[in-house]
Amino acid sequence: MGTNMSNKMKLLVTIVERGLGGQVIAACEEEHQSFNLSFLGRGTAQSRILEYLGLGEVEKDIVMSFVPEDFTALMLNKLNRTFALDNAGNGIAFTIPIRSVGGPITLGMLSGIYGEKEQ
């Protein structure tokens, strides 16, 4: 198998304007990060908190991607470049370490290698 199963995984969370979630998933898939979940979000934070985070509108697309720890910098840089996340109001991306996964099949599925055939 091409991917090291012992790699630690991280949850990459990307919050962007409504309608851009599909583009976030496409950017992840270009880097062979194939396990992505997208859903609609609606913020309930106070407006000053939203302004601080650069999230002026409350309707968002939220994409959760499971990526090997070794790929997090690459993915954060790509998303920042593609969606100009360093500009206020364009969104935010961050990672959360995954401390435990329920077995090797689950890890393989999240890593994108479950079901790969040996060459």
Q: State both tokens at 82.
A: 């593609």
pTM of the model: 0.71
Q: What is the model's pLDDT at position 5?
A: 43
Q: What is the pLDDT of residue 34?
A: 77
Q: What is the pLDDT of residue 68?
A: 87
Which residues, 6+ apart, have CB-to-CB distance to 112 below 8 Å?
3, 32, 33, 34, 35
Domains in the chain (CATH in brackets) are 9-111 (3.30.70.120)
Q: What is the pLDDT of residue 53?
A: 66
**Lowest mean pLDDT segment, chosen from 16-20, 46-50, 56-60:** 46-50
Q: Looking at residue 95, what is its pLDDT?
A: 94
Q: Give 8-19 pLDDT, tens digit per residue.
A: 889 999 999 899
The CA–CA distances, whole Å, from 90 to 45, 72, 112 equal 17, 20, 28
